[in-house]
Amino acid sequence: MNWSYTIWIPLLPLLSFVINGLFYGRMPKKMSGWLGTSALGISTLLSWVTAWKYFFNTPHQGPYEDITAWHTTWMHLTDRFTIDLGIYLDPISIMMLIVVTTVSFLVHLYSIGYMATEEGRNRYFAWLGLFSFSMLGLVLAPNLIQTYMFWELVGVSSFLLIGYYYDKPSAVKAALKAFIVTRFADGFFLIGILLYSYYSGSFLFEDINNIPAILESNGSLPVFMGLSALTWGLLLIFIGGAGKSAMFPLHIWLPDAMEGPTPVSALIHAATMVVAGVYLVARLFPAFHASDHGFALQIVAIVGTFSSLFAAIIAMTQMDIKRVLAFSTMSQIGYMMTGLGVSGIGEEGLGYTASMFHLFTHAAFKALLFLGAGALIHAVHSNSLKDMGSLRKYMPISHITFLIACLAISGIPPFAGFFSKDLILEAAFEKNKLIYAVGWITAGLTAFYMFRIYFMAFWGEDKVYAHKPHDPGITMTLPLIVLAIASALAGWLPFNEWVTSNHETLHTHFNIGSAAASVAIGLVGIIIAYILYKNPSMTPQKMSNRLGVVYQTVKNKFYVDEFYEGVTQQVILKRIATPIAWFDRHIVDGTMNLIGNTTVRISSIIKGIQSGDFQVYAFGILIAVIGLLVWLNYFIQ
């Protein structure tokens, strides 16, 4: 079967980027948006066709095959070291194709309405195209080098889009913060790639994931602190993934990234780019699982679990609707990491399937939440929950879709989040009771903070609005409706047949006890939110006052930002950078200045000799000749 047409899936957004970028100022008013949307529309169509062909229309026995649809050697450096570009199709890359193109298409469509009054619209759509291209290149990569290239490209496009309002200092700061934090993590990622590939002898995922073959060809691998070089490589790669996926303690950039336009938050910081870390771990899952009996995988599970709880606690106290959603994203990505971390391979690969399933459903309902929040912000011109209330009366479509998304993320059946989250918790329950308990509590917290913002925005006190809020136009409501349908129904997809750790059908059975437990805690969260926020009251205020220091600590995000600030200011800048700067200025520059100044001083002394006055020269010659004669006569035998 011919798959080579898939190259157009990433190339069409690139085309949109190039055209919008080059003809930036010379375009008719609405053209850039429709151009980007139609390019993404075709890509989306192609992705769905690919998925359909791959899962239903390819005759196969046993596992799904990995297909290299297109392949070229980009740089031939040495015989052993070449950099290849290609397109690699397997269940998870096709799933990501669907997620990325669909969400990107809907966000493009939504942005036409959302950005209608912006001056820099063409620039915005150009960068959106660049991001879509980079993200597709990332998910389709057949080797680590291509992954890394596109990994950096999505980082750059994320930076550009967060800093879209470049005349707003906080946006510029947030963009820089996102870029620097993820770059910091990517440094480890690159070291990890090089370390790992040095021992595996290849960048291709097929070779990298084949740990027994690597061990066989290497004999014995170097061991450092009880872990083999491969495990160290994987841990470093995971640091890169954790940076991109906003795992603790590299999460600080994600809440600030909300300074970008809301559709960008929906696309990049909810549905696609931030799950790249999860995707990376899933991509390298056999290696993670096999190396040192899955030590690296345990780290993934611990980091994921901790991040999910940590972020959920913070999310309960934030007043900015987008920041709540940002912490919620971090929490849900923590779930996905947990799912991968507790998973085995083959028949034990429930966590893997659950994690990918959750990635898929999360993309739908989190994009919907962000786009819904965008509609609210668009209507009331403020991010703060304090400025919202009783919006259900004015914005029925936004209200219903937002409610569906809230139910989905809270894990209420039959909405999508219930199925995927329940699978993750089930997988965790079989592996580690503590992880399960934390995940279970987090599920309750999730339901609470989601319904907190739901009740605060759509119910509660009726505010006085300067302009009467109303539902946005069709380009903005259509994506909401599509995503709401997806959030409601995606849970019924038979993911266990499609996306599994060994590409074979995984037999799952519905565990009623676990499901009941997670629904129960979700309902408890919702009921508490209902009591506290349904009607305007002073109870939440009183409760937070009673909690005092604890509340303040959580509201200030456990002072992690302040900690980083302190470390960079007090330790790095003061103790390291300042002495180095002093050394540079005084010792390095000083040496150079000394050489220069000495030369100048000597030349100013001896330049009198070169007076240009021939009589002085003649006198010099005379003295020299006389001196020479005296020397020859009296001192030489």
Partner 1 sequence: MDSGIQISDILIVTAIMFFIGVYGFVTRKNLIAVMMALELIINAAAINFIMINKLVFKTNLHGVFFGLFIIAVAAVEVAIGLVIILNLYRLRDSIDPEEITTLKH
Which residues would be at the binding site for partner 1 (CB under 8 A)? Answer: 610-615, 618-619, 622
Comparing CB distances to partner 1, the nearer of 510 and 617 is: 617
Alpha-carbon span 239 to 243, nearest angstrom: 6
Output the smallest distance, CB 613 to partner 1, in A. 5
Output the smallest distance, CB 574 to partner 1, in A. 52
Residue with tokens 């795992």: 247
Comparing CB distances to partner 1, the nearer of 72 and 633 is: 633
CB count within 10 Å of CB 69 equals 20
CB count within 10 Å of CB 599 equals 10
What token pair was written down for 353?
Answer: 């399937």
Comparing CB distances to partner 1, the nearer of 614 and 635 is: 614
Q: Decide: 522 and 444 in contact? Cβ < 8 Å.
A: yes
Q: What is the largest CA-CA distance in the chain?
A: 120
Output the smallest distance, CB 618 to partner 1, in A. 6
Task: Please classify residue 54 by burial: count the beta carbons closer than 10 Å to its beta carbon, then call 0-12 exposed, 13-18 middle and 19+ buried.
Answer: buried
Q: Decide: 192 and 203 in contact? Cβ < 8 Å.
A: no
CB count within 10 Å of CB 26 equals 8
Comparing CB distances to partner 1, the nearer of 73 and 610 is: 610
Alpha-carbon span 591 to 146, nearest angstrom: 44
Comparing CB distances to partner 1, the nearer of 45 and 626 is: 626
Comparing CB distances to partner 1, the nearer of 563 and 617 is: 617
- The count of C-alpha atoms lying within 13 angstroms of the C-alpha of 229, restricted to the half-sphere facing its C-beta, is 17
> CB neighbours of 200 closer than 8 A, spacing ≥ 6?
207, 208, 214, 230
> CB neighbours of 425 closer than 8 A, spacing ≥ 6?
436, 439, 440, 443, 514, 517, 518
Gyration radius (Cα) of the chain, Å = 30
Output the smallest distance, CB 601 to partner 1, in A. 20
Output the smallest distance, CB 616 to partner 1, in A. 8
Output the smallest distance, CB 635 to partner 1, in A. 23
Output the smallest distance, CB 127 to partner 1, in A. 57
Comparing CB distances to partner 1, the nearer of 566 and 627 is: 627
What token pair was written down for 56?
Answer: 């239903």
Output the smallest distance, CB 620 to partner 1, in A. 10
Comparing CB distances to partner 1, the nearer of 494 and 620 is: 620
Q: Which amino acid is at 350?
A: L
Comparing CB distances to partner 1, the nearer of 516 and 623 is: 623
Task: Please classify residue 259 by burial: count the beta carbons closer than 10 Å to its beta carbon, then call 0-12 exposed, 13-18 middle and 19+ buried.
Answer: buried
Comparing CB distances to partner 1, the nearer of 198 and 619 is: 619
Comparing CB distances to partner 1, the nearer of 593 and 611 is: 611
Distance of CA 98 to the CA centre of its chain: 18
Q: What is the DSSP string of 38-76?
A: HHHHHHHHHHHHHHHHHHHSS--SSSPPPEEEEEEEEEE
Output the smallest distance, CB 609 to partner 1, in A. 10
Output the smallest distance, CB 622 to partner 1, in A. 6
Find, among 138, 4, 136, 2, the residue nearest to 72 by Cα: 4
Output the smallest distance, CB 571 to partner 1, in A. 56
Strand partners for 88: 68
Output the smallest distance, CB 576 to partner 1, in A. 50
Alpha-carbon span 634 to 611, nearest angstrom: 32
Comparing CB distances to partner 1, the nearer of 579 and 620 is: 620
Comparing CB distances to partner 1, the nearer of 473 and 620 is: 620
Comparing CB distances to partner 1, the nearer of 614 and 634 is: 614
Alpha-carbon span 508 to 496, nearest angstrom: 7
Regarding beta strands 227-228 and 67-76, do their DSSP bridges make them parallel or antiparallel, or are they unpaired? unpaired
Output the smallest distance, CB 625 to partner 1, in A. 10
Q: Which contacts qualify for 349-352: CB closer than 8 Å, 24 or more apart?
A: 349/500, 349/501, 349/502, 349/506, 350/423, 350/426, 350/427, 350/430, 350/506, 350/508, 351/424, 351/427, 351/428, 351/431, 352/282, 352/285, 352/500, 352/501
Find, among 146, 6, 159, 18, the residue nearest to 68 by Cα: 6
Comparing CB distances to partner 1, the nearer of 75 and 628 is: 628
Output the smallest distance, CB 637 to partner 1, in A. 26
3-class state of residue 80 by DSSP: coil
Output the smallest distance, CB 597 to partner 1, in A. 24
